[in-house]
Amino acid sequence: MWRKKYFLVLIFCIFSLLWSGCGSLKLRDSKAEKIEIAIGNAKVFVESFPPQRPEWVNSVPVSDESLFFIGVSSYLANETIARNGARNDALNQVVKYYGTIIQSKAQETKSSKNFSSEIINPYIEQEEIIQSFAQRYVSEILPENYYIEKYLTSKNQEQYICYVKCSVSKEKVKREMDSFAKEISERYSSLLPEKNESRNKSIKSDVESCITVYKAVSENPLYKTVAFVETSGGKAALDEYALLYAKRIIQNCKIQNESYPKTVEKGTEFLSVLQIYSDEYKNLSSLKAEATLFNKEKSFGSALYEINSENKIKISGNTQSLDYGSYSMKVRLVSGIEKNILGEITADSTVLNFEVTPVYAGLEFKYSENMCSNANIEQKMQSKLQKMIEEYGIPVFIDKSGEKEKIWNFVIFIDREKLASHEAVTKTKVLCNVALEKNGVAQVQGGIVFRHGIEF
């Protein structure tokens, strides 16, 4: 009977041992040797250093002055590698904490973009300055803040898992991030024209310097978040400030109307000269001017004009294809500098208003040697000429005001031819040769028989 009881107790002990081997690993009395049975891939806990598991392994400490990060390694082949793994894990946690501090700085610099940790963390991990800050905390971990457990695998191989406690001063991290932000800000803001002694030499070079700063900062989410510039309104995001600076350089260039005609006769040339000036730059030739001609009904198209070495724009044209009436020409400054980034800039512009008028021609009478001036003939000739102008729609008007010399002139040469006569009456035929001259050069001419049988 006792043999049967002994056998049942033995079977129960074996099942108890098997059941305990499949269960979760538990800490035993730290002073006693701890052995667990490995089943399959399970590990047998052997011992720990120090023997007693610290409270911070299971519960992260809380403090008003410091933050604590618990680094944990994987199960590794030896104690040294496990220590390194735990330190690296703690390092990564500290770096991510720097990320949360950096993200909060987006509000300080009034940045228009606050990046998520998924976007910004890879840049933080690559930044040597931040890595050096975090590395210092990890390198200062004291020996008592390490805890290591040793295990034995089912293949009788030793494995180690390490825990480390890393403490970080909240105030110190904030100071370090302020220092980092200041260093990045000064590094790139020093490239702005306002910090450069060679400014004012070229609009193009100064705009390009601003764009260099904008690209360097905006293309790196970390720099975009922390880089700032001090303004009268407080801290401003450096990349946005650089972009506005570039635009402002161009927008501060102004157009001054120097000379342009208020009225232009149809079919004549006109020339408008505009002066471009800037309080900061002497050479503005890297800009251009876009001129657009329009009236109330439609636009007649645009053209680009260069700015010469005297910072002047010369716009010329001909009114031959324009009808009589009022026209406007809008002239605005444009820039092709870094246009893919700056886009269309609302630069200075001006509007020139002018009138296309008919040709007002003077009237001049000339007589052959055998004729004297005759007011009656002149009056009748002028009336007939005016009638022909109106009948045929000739865009020329007779102007005898004599206020100023006319570009266009009707020159009427009057001659006479004697006809057959009888008794005491002399009959003549008056011949008029009319020429329309421009600046003394005949443009159109023809003869007119004015009247037969004028009696004298």
Q: What percent of the chain has pLDDT over 90?
A: 40
Coil vs helix vs strand at 159? strand
Phi/psi-derived region of residue 267, left when phi > 0, alpha when psi is between -120 and 50, beta in every other case: left
328/351 Cα distance (integer angstroms): 6
Residues 387-399: tens digit of each pLDDT: 888 887 777 888 7
Walk me through the domains of the chain, giving residue ranges and CATH numbers.
26-173 (no CATH), 184-251 (no CATH), 254-357 (2.60.40.2550), 360-455 (no CATH)
**Cβ contact 435:444 at 8 Å:** yes
Residue 417: CB atoms within 10 A of its CB come to 12
What's the rounded Cα separation, in Å, for the pair 236 and 347?
24
Question: Where is 442: in which H helix or E strand?
Answer: strand 441-455
| Cβ–Cβ under 8 Å, residues 166 and 68 | yes
Q: What is the pLDDT of residue 276?
A: 94
Cα distance between residue 239 and residue 234, in whole Å = 15
Q: Describe the crossing of helices 203-218 and 238-251 by its angle, rounded to 10 degrees.
A: 160
Q: Are 134 and 91 in contact (CB under 8 A)?
A: yes
Q: What sections of 262-337 are H helices per DSSP?
A: none
Q: In the prediction, which pLDDT does 40 show?
A: 46
* Residues of the chain with confidence (pLDDT) below 50: 1-40, 450-456
CA of residue 81 relative to chain centroid, distance: 51
CB atoms within 10 A of CB 284: 21
Q: Please provide residue 46's backbone torsions phi and psi, each rounded to the nearest 5 degrees.
A: -105, -60
Of how many residues is the chain composed? 456
Helix axes 170-189, 128-139, angle to 10 degrees: 160
CA distance 36 to 45: 6
For the sheet containing 146-152, what is the strand order?
Answer: 44-49, 146-152, 158-169, 66-72
What is the distance between the alpha carbons of residues 237 and 153, in angstroms, rounded to a whole number?
A: 56
Q: Is the Cβ–Cβ distance between 76 and 161 less than 8 Å?
A: yes
Q: pTM, whole model, 2 decimals?
A: 0.65
Q: How far apart, in whole angstroms, are the C-alpha atoms of residue 220 and residue 123?
A: 7
> How does DSSP assign 52-115, residue by residue?
SPPHHHHS----SSEEEEEEE---BSSHHHHHHHHHHHHHHHHHHHHHHHHHHHHHHTT-S---
Point out which residues pair with 438 in neighbouring strands.
408, 441
Q: In the structure encoding, which two tokens stand for residue 71, read together?
A: 């680094």
Token code pair at residue 23: 């269960």
Token pair, residue 207, equals: 């705009």
